[in-house]
Structure 1
Amino acid sequence: MIKLNIMKMLNTQVNILKLCMAMLMMFSFVACDDFPTGSKDEESETPYTYVDMGLSVAWAAYNVGAEAECGVGYYFAWGETEPASLENIQTYKYGDPFSGQMSKYNELDDKLVLEMNDDAARKHWGGYWRMPTTAEFMELLENCIVEPAAGGQSSQNDVTMDYGLRFTSKITGNSIFFPAAGYYDYYRAEQLGFGDQAYYWSSVLEFLNEDQQKDVATAYSFSATLRDEDFAQSLLYAKRPMHRYMACNVRAVYDTLQASDYPFVYTLQYDANGGSGNMKTMSHNKGESIKVAANSFLRDGYYFSHWNTQADGSGGNYDINQVFALSQDTVLYAQWKEIPEDIIAMTQGFENNYEWADLGLSVKWAVCNLGAATPESYGDYYAWGEAESKTSFTPDNYVTTSSDAAQLSMGGTWRQPTYNECMELLEKCTCVWYSQNGVDGCLIRSNINGRSIFIPAAGCYFNIGNLSLGFQANFWASTPFDPVQYPNLHFRFGFQPGGFSGGYLLDNDYNGMSIRAVCQ
């Protein structure tokens, strides 16, 4: 199963378009000349050339692992510091790509930015060199003219690529060159895009949109396709999701502004404030962007409302998924609201002999998965749009169709939920990993009326079987992602220990997933 966590890009495209319009006016070919005007890191024992672009950080003149600006240098999986090769690309230090389970930089530790011991630039160059953040890449794009560049200087020790991107500062006139060295593909164990595409890691895990928690399988890269007909368009999508176990180049930055006080580490603690349960205390670097965690506490007779810096609610409010930077040790206290008893009594019933739960949303949700007799039973598995369940899921046995298995099987007003209905469920409920009658899964409790449903961890079937059984609770949405450009990708929603696993995920239509129906 390939988790392609592709953002809803409307807002992002507009923002990047604004940043790139000035760049797109100039698309002439330029030569890759001698090293641009720059300096050495004279204060440390890492004398690597950097270039003053007039920005918040200075940019290295060449890739980590290279000796000249047209040298390819090393490829790294995100979070790894040992160079990747085609022989070792199908391993990943921090998790299993096929199961989607990551052992670090995940929902449990809530880390968004690479620690220095996982930063390839710091590991190889030392000093105050590090990998750039997403914001620093966007700053570079906004303040530079970007052109395809041909030709160039290299060291005899380098593997070279003399075609790539030239970034020329609008502020200082200095420039840096990014060779189009492609990337190493985990699944194919081969190099792709060499001479045609440039992929460079940022140090940041980001959110696909404001409604989502961190995607545990995806970091961000910056890329561009250099073919004439594709170059302008590719810059509009320069910030793009990239599976973190793929291997890309790294271009370091020299952090001259924060070098003197790095690092400061602060803690973020969550307090149940009258509730029960446990949430992990997290450590974050000064200025690191973090996302407020989903609540995992429970309190009988109450539902969770929001977080506050004071137990009595007199401090600053923080919502789930809100992003902020720590400037001191912080405790966030759960804020609770009492559930009226008269509401609880009116929140369940039957439609065509199938039980529903009313969570106070636009639709009522089935109590069980399709094909299950109890809430904790896994039920049947379906490829997207197929009417019949099965136990083997491959591209070869997929039947292209758009059937609604829930409506066909349950009748009445039952049907599969839309993308918007799934997002409503997540935005207006608290999701807690839970064991019900010995079965692990996700307890989803309404923040409106306190009613809950249980989604068992039925996993997901793909080519080689169900590798996430017992630790992922998934179900299909009825909404296709992009029927024209990506007709085989469809929305699914999933949960795993630590909360909701990424807003929405995209899966191939032939994969096998549970269905949780809704009715009017």
Structure 2
Amino acid sequence: MKIKLFSLLTVMLMAITAHAQHEYVDLGLPSGTLWATTNIGAINPADYGDYFAWGEKETKSNYDWSTYKWCKGSESTLTKYCTDNSYGYNGFTDGLTRILPEDDAATANWGSNWQMPTKVQFEELISSSYTTTEWTSKTGKEGFLNYGLLITSKSNGNSIFLPASGERVETYSASGVDTYGDYWSRDNKSAASYVLQFNSKRSNSSSLIFRNLGLSIRPVYVPHYKTCPDNNHPHLIDLGLPSGAKWSCCNLGASTPETFGDYFAWGETVPKNDYTWSNYKWCKGSDHKLTKYCPSNSSNGYNGFADDLTELMPEDDAATANWGGEWQMPSKEQMEELLNSSNTTVKWTQNGYENYGFLITSKSNGNSIFLPAGGCYGENSNHLPGSDYPKGFYWARTINSSLIADGLWLNQDEIETSGNYRYAGQSVRPVRSSDVVYSEFVETTGTLTFYYDNKRYSRTGVTELFDPNTSLSKRFIGYNDKVLKVVINSSMKNASMTSMKGLFYNLNAVTSIEGLQNLNTQNVTDMGYMFWGCTSLSTLDLSSFNTQNVTDMSNMFFNCGSLTIIFSSSDWSNNGAKSVDMFSSCISLAGGKGTTYDESLVDATYARPDGGKANPGYFTLPIPVYTVYNEATQTLTYYCDENYDASNPYHELYDPMNAPDAVRFTGYYRKVKKAVIDPSMKDAPLISMYGMFFGGIHNETYAFQTLSNMTTIEGMENLNTANVTRMDYMFEGCSALQTVDVSSFDISKVTKMDMMFSDCNNLTTIYCATDWSTSTATSSNMFYGCTSLVGGEGTTYNSSYKDKTYARPDGGKKSPGYFTDSTILKGDADGDGKVTAADIVAMTNYIMGNPPADFSKANADINLDGVIDIADIVAVSNIILND
């Protein structure tokens, strides 16, 4: 009795273990399909297991049409999976030819990592190209020998055994056991479904058997690759590629990495239902009538049209249009880099229930992306999504010829760059390029701007990648003489360039270059030809240039015939760099002490600040911005001239660009009563006004050297703010200051206003007529501690609004602000600049219907109720009485 009980427990344990630990075998098949080692319900590989009707998930005792789940009692009354209305209940059809996951017995019984095989997978399994088959026997359940088919891989020798389990009909036990095997596939043809059928003499995968019968199921494994951290798609996947390009985790329009997503014709940004030349956006109905992206050597342009555009404009890039300016369709080069065996490994595999494709894995960091084989749409296409032999088609952003665009093509045998007709509907896998140095030319303004970011393809102007290895003759082709101004964007500070060769090459119409201080020259070794041919340029400020590593300055300023001044305080003449023809043809150039151009000295010999006859040079020392403290008057004055005296302790440079942490006003910061901005400051090329009236934090005492006793600032209108980007901490700690007039400030380029008026606790009035609240500048704690501040219409300080929200002229309760509009004089109804009895007369005439010609309703509406009435006249009377 104990032995029988032990045997029973052993069998039960084996059954539980078999269900809990389903295993698969890799047979080295081209598709990558991984086959289970047992049937559903089997204890071991030779066990027959359970029997299922097709599309049902549970076993049962009667396998008949009367008990079949998806019919009304007979094979001609199907209610699901029917493509022929003669088999459908009341003519029903649904077009389904493959079982859905919710009806898959393998998925239901073994979990989401398993599914029933397809007809094509059976074909591959028994193909003599990949496997050998042998009729043999193995020990099955309870030690009995079961016959079946042993299938062995030709590539790796692994094998699986399919027992000849026969079939179940109605209530009978399985028939044909050890004689033949019938195994369900997922594929169906109305009342019958495809099976793998075999016996001792043959096997085939194209047989059809009625769906109501009970057959065995041998599952296949479904890999699920986790290629991104969560479901908040899209993610940027860093594959460690040399270019720095990062790929999206999923296709455009896809909800997960393994799904196909949307389909796009090349150059179109919206998916559609039909993909033909007749409805292609960039033609007039046929392939010989192109209206955009047509090379001049092509005969396919509409009425001879050609534009020589070979790369998608941002507005026609599906990735940019749908996901934003930092995303683009990949270039052909980026696709080639992705597939380069030095960078990645590629593997054809299944990923999820239905989807096949290539898993591409980085060799440097192990990160992966999955490219599903989603097929494509087009005229007479035989590559539709979901086909038995899946293929994938992905667009690049360039054309191969007038009719063919570049892209990526893949199936289970290969993945390669290829092309397709532009009208076809294909997948798009977006990328984000790494930050690069490039320029954008906007013809309407004549401005060329240099950037360092990944937004090149979202720019609307003509963009050009800066590559110092490219032939100089290819720079700015077609527009070099149209560029009037160059701007170096602040993003260029982050570009660690080693060469600036030909950066502004042959821009012969340029008269100014703004933002040269944004060029990061610390690691630059080559400045050759940098300003070559800039014949209209008169002034250059190179005071921010670091040339300690430069080895080549040849032709740097060649033929800059209008160049008169080069500002620099550095001596470049002794750094050993090559400098052939550095200043050749700079006939107008003169140093700051009067040294003029000498055609016999055009190398780096005079590349230094001019010291006059004793030490001649072509450079001019930059005019410094500095402060002078007058102890007698307790006045601090800002100057921009050549009178700075470094030996005077009361003379201090103000250079927040190069010395943002400088500590100023030591020994007298508490003594300053008044600040004055000298008229010379109008010519100061200010970029930053960071901490202008804040002396910083002392290195030893840690004292905040604030101008805490300064009560007035004169001459604010003399500050040149046109190019200023920083105003943060400008008035920090000016706690005695009561009024300040910033009405002349231009904040169009300001990016930081944080702590600008912080701790100005006695400040009551800020005069300004413009609205700063709409600026894009950061403004954290802009008005922190300004507890006495009152706007022009009575709005008082609110600690909940310390940022730029109230940085605007006070509009009363409807539009509260901390500013007082300097252009409005309340009560000055006649606009003569004074509030007198004449204003009461003007207001009376207005009320009576006879307004004077220069009547100002804004000045007359004292209580801001929108109406001029007796209440406003009384208010003006009070203003006059109170002087």
Give the TM-score of the pair, scaled to structure 2: 0.23
Give the TM-score of the pair, scaled to structure 1: 0.38
Indicate the structure with greater strand content. 1
